[in-house]
Amino acid sequence: MNKIDQLKEIIKPYVPNRERLEHLTPETDFIKDLAINSANLVDIILDIEEQFEITIDNDGMEKMMDVKSALAIIDEELAKK
């Protein structure tokens, strides 16, 4: 499974409108496009940390607003391992 599909699986439980998830692109915004509740962004961050066995620091969390930045942060943290 590539990373964008892995990410899709992670965010799926938090997306109220599942149809929008079908058209996930790097530009997709978690809140504006997917209507994810901002409190659930924490769950997504924790799920990403668990699944990829990484730790996302505060700088990473601040940027965690869309698919593109989430993927970049995952890559950045994986590279540190």
Query: Which residues of the shown chain bind other proteins in the complex (CB under 8 A)?
Result: 32, 37-43, 45-46, 49, 58, 61-65
What is the C-alpha separation between 80 and 68, in angstroms, rounded? 19
What is the C-alpha separation between 36 and 24, in angstroms, rounded? 14
The tokens describing 37, both together, are 């509740």
Residue 62 C-beta: closest distance to other proteins, Å: 4
Specify which residues 66 forms β-bridges with.
29
DSSP secondary-structure letter at 66?
B
4 or 64, CB closer to other proteins? 64
1 or 59, CB closer to other proteins? 59
Residue 40 C-beta: closest distance to other proteins, Å: 7
1 or 66, CB closer to other proteins? 66
